[in-house]
Structure 1
Amino acid sequence: MKSKIILPLLLALATSGAWAHGDVKCTKAPKTEWKSHEELEQKLTKEGWQIRRMEATTSCYEVYAKDPKGKRVEAFFDPVTFARVEE
């Protein structure tokens, strides 16, 4: 019974674009101009973020965290300016 509910839900999510963040573009600057992810982590922590994990994509820093309001988020930041980039 559960599989009859879960499978359609998973298929809907997979085709909805909910996981399609591959086209987020943050910067065209070379990596030699990027600030360190440690600097971004310090900045976000001071702002009240609780960082779980950070990754560098081809043009962004991808942050998995709780924002200052306590909401779990996956956020993208420009590695040169640290401006948040919306998907």
Structure 2
Amino acid sequence: MKKFMSIAVGLSLFASAQVFAHADMECTDKPKTQWLHPLEIQKKIVNEYGFAIKKFQESGSCYEIYGWGLSKDGKKFEEIEVYFNPVTGEIVKKKFRD
């Protein structure tokens, strides 16, 4: 039972660290009253960047999506994680997921 509890505690600490890693991302210092409305930025993400959105969320001072976008060579769609400045809609960080 003790071994199970230590494994459970370890996994929950790891999961917490992952959440805090994303929350530390700084995209803007502007107040939320200046942020683009979520539907407005989602429209921009699809129309201007060509990303397909699987999940959209607020993460720290960023908008974050999980979805699909063209690969680095532009030949196929790959899973991506992208952070956006919620005021301007500009990409702050983009990474392809394995």
TM over 0.5: same fold?
yes
Q: CA deviation at 1:34?
A: 0.3
* Consecutive unaligned residues in structure 1, runs of 5 or more: 1-13
Corresponding residue number in structure 2 for 1:59: 61
Q: Which has the higher helix share?
A: 2
C-alpha root-mean-square deviation of aligned residues, in Å?
2.1
Q: Is 1:27 equivalent to 2:31 in the alignment?
A: no
Q: CA deviation at 1:54?
A: 0.5
Q: Distance in 2 between matches of 1:22 and 1:79?
A: 14
Q: Relative contact order: is structure 1 or structure 2 higher (C-alpha 8 Å, sep ≥ 6)?
A: 1
Matched residue type, 1:30:
P
Q: Which has the higher strand share?
A: 2
Matched residue type, 2:51:
W
TM-score normalised by the chain length of structure 2: 0.63
- % identical aligned pairs: 34
Q: Distance in 1 between matches of 2:40 and 2:79?
A: 21
Matched residue type, 1:65:
G
- Equivalenced residue count is 72
Q: Distance in 2 between matches of 1:26 and 1:77?
A: 7
